[in-house]
Amino acid sequence: MVRPLGFLVGLGFITALVFAIFTTPLSNEENIAHKFHEHPKHLKLASDGLLPHWDKQQLQRGMQVYKEVCSACHSLHLVAFRDIEALGYTPGQVKTFAKGFQVPSINPDTGELGDA
Ligand code: HEC
């Protein structure tokens, strides 16, 4: 009569151990990164399908999501401001966007950082 009980207790311990091993908590940074990288929904994009093309509104919506969410952690420092005109923004809108950033000035003669 005692044996099955001992077996059940042992099984309980093993279950708890397996649970603990496979559900190791992530570090804070990993948790946050995972929160923002949940499985993306499959979107119906104009760039899919038989006649793929860029939909400027969809592109600009992506830019808005980048600005409001992703830019907290990811920079666009390898993208030139002029390049975002390709998303359908006017040069004036690009200038307004660029005004929100501070970039170091580069001396045109020496190529070094600092005032000309
Ligand atoms: C809280 C900070 C944070 C935010 C906000 C964030 N990311 Fe990330 N992202 C990370 C970190 C850290 C990594 C690298 C760790 C990793 O690969 O899981 C990463 C990696 C990535 C990768 C590479 C993933 C891979 O599987 O190689 C992509 C793509 C990405 N992020 C896109 C985005 C997009 C799009 C957004 C906005 C919707 C976003 N991230 C918002 C922190 C963030």
Residue 51 has pLDDT above 80, yes or no: yes
85 found inside a domain: yes
Highest average pLDDT, of 6-15, 19-28, 72-81, comes from: 72-81
96 found inside a domain: yes
Residue range of the domain that includes 60: 55-101
Total-model pTM: 0.68
Q: Are 71 and 79 in contact (CB under 8 A)?
A: no
Residue 1 has pLDDT above 60, yes or no: no
115 found inside a domain: no
Residue 116 has pLDDT above 60, yes or no: no
Q: Which of 29, 31, 37, 69 to mutate to test the pocket of ligand 1 (most atoms within 8 A of CB)?
A: 37
The gap from C-alpha 98 to its chain's centroid, in whole angstroms, comes to: 21
Q: Are 104 and 113 in contact (CB under 8 A)?
A: yes
Other residues' Cβ atoms within 10 Å of the Cβ of residue 1? 4
Under the banding of pLDDT at 50, 70 and 90, the label for residue 94 is: very high
How many Å apart are CA 82 and CA 95, to the nearest integer? 9
How many Å apart are CA 66 and CA 41, to the nearest integer? 16
Residue 28 has pLDDT above 80, yes or no: no
**How many structural domains are present in the chain?**
1
